Amino acid sequence: MGSVVNSYERKIYKTNFIIYKNYAIIKFIGNGFLRSQIRMMTQFLLDISDKNLTIKDLELQLNKEKKISSKLTIPNGLYFERVFYENFNNRR
């Protein structure tokens, strides 16, 4: 279900993507996430790494110039690590 939201805009402050022992480790830091947002972003990054999509495709979708993909990755292996309650507005 999810909760009622006043805005669908979220800020992603940092993303890390590494391959470690045949595992893709992806870390997102943001001010909040919408339902299935992590699964969609993860699938997009995996498609880039598999050469199905390009960084240009990502830029087009992020800039709302073209909808490239809204496919969700399977939830297996995804987990929520923690919440930071500090003020990210002053962080660079």
Other residues' Cβ atoms within 10 Å of the Cβ of residue 89: 8
The answer to whether position 84 is within a domain reads: no
- The rounded average pLDDT for each run of 10 residues, N- to C-terminus, in the chain (92 residues) is 73 88 86 88 89 91 91 87 66 52
Q: Please give the pLDDT value at position 90.
A: 57
Total structural domains within the chain = 1
How far apart are alpha carbons 22 and 38 in whole angstroms?
20
Q: Please give the pLDDT value at position 54.
A: 92
Is residue 84 within 8 A of residue 76, CB to CB? The reply is no
